[in-house]
């Protein structure tokens, strides 16, 4: 559940951001630009340059769509703060990336669990200018559209460890392409420079069976050989791998279970 509500588009298809929301966007993007410039992969940085996101105010979806449409045929579409699996997969299959049109409050400036406008736009949209990444994301949506509930739960791990929290090898170094990392100031540094997490070579079966938590720094990141590996994944029988993962079950969690207060 979330206490945020997405902002509606006006009759011209624009979002009316408040002065405070524009200040929050300005502060977020200024801080994160400095974090990603030497840590993000070239594909992301190239896409970010194409988007040319404003820094003084939050951008409009139409401006982002102009760039994405020209590069890969994708579009961003406004959605409520939270959407279900069925809606999510259908949008991706149609080359439409869901963007919740709300910005985090100043009280949750450093971290919030639900994906806000900054996370979706700054974290993800740059990679959608890259053809291999965009193709993988569309195929992922098509797979999810026809999957069972259990299969979708396993597919969610593939999305988590690629689109959200993926790393990639670039000239012998690890770089970031996952939007969950790139929109987080703390995890952008932690993912590459902390001695704590494991950085493992990407293996589809392992990824599908690895548990995760959304509210902690990740204990393991999976590293692609290159971004083109995402395209190569779409040439595999991914659902056969999903069904195999279901039969084998989850691997041991690398974190403590979240404590639930029943009081």
Residues serving a catalytic function are: 119, 124, 164, 183
Spatial separation of the C-alpha atoms in residues 12 and 49, rounded to whole Å: 26
The residues, any chain, with a CB within 8 Å of residue 216's CB and separated by 6 or more, are 255
Any known ligand binding at 12? Answer: no
d(CA 230, CA 220): 19
Pairing of strands 167-170, 173-176: antiparallel
164 is in an annotated binding site: yes
* 119 labelled ligand-binding: yes
The alpha-helical segments, DSSP class H, found in the chain are 19-36, 42-51, 61-71, 85-93, 117-118, 131-145, 149-159, 179-182, 185-193, 204-209, 228-233, 238-248
Known binding-site residues for Fe cation equal 119, 124, 164
């Amino acid at each position: 559940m979330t206490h945020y509500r997405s902002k509606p588009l006006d009759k011209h298809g624009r979002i009316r951001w408040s002065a405070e929301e524009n200040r929050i966007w300005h502060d977020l993007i200024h801080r994160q630009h400095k974090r990603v410039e030497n840590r993000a992969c070239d594909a992301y940085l190239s896409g970010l340059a194409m988007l040319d996101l404003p820094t003084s105010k939050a951008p409009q979806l139409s401006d982002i769509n102009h760039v994405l449409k020209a590069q890969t045929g994708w579009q961003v579409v406004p959605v409520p703060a939270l959407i279900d699996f069925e809606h999510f997969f259908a949008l991706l299959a149609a080359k439409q990336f869901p963007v919740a049109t709300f910005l985090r409050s100043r009280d949750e400036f450093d971290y919030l669990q639900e994906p806000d406008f900054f996370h979706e736009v700054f974290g993800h949209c740059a990679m959608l200018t890259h053809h291999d990444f965009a193709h993988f994301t569309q195929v992922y949506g098509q797979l999810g559209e026809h999957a069972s509930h259990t299969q979708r739960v396993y597919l969610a791990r593939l999305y988590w460890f690629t689109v959200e929290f993926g790393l990639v090898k670039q000239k012998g170094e690890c770089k970031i392409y996952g939007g969950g990392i790139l929109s987080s100031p703390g995890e952008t540094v932690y993912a590459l420079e902390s001695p704590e997490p494991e950085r493992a070579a990407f293996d589809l079966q392992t990824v599908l069976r690895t548990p995760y938590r959304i509210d902690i720094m990740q204990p393991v990141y999976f590293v692609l050989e290159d971004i083109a590996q995402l395209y190569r994944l779409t040439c595999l029988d991914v659902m056969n791998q999903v069904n195999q993962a279901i039969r084998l079950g989850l691997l041991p969690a690398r974190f403590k279970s979240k404590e639930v207060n029943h009081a």
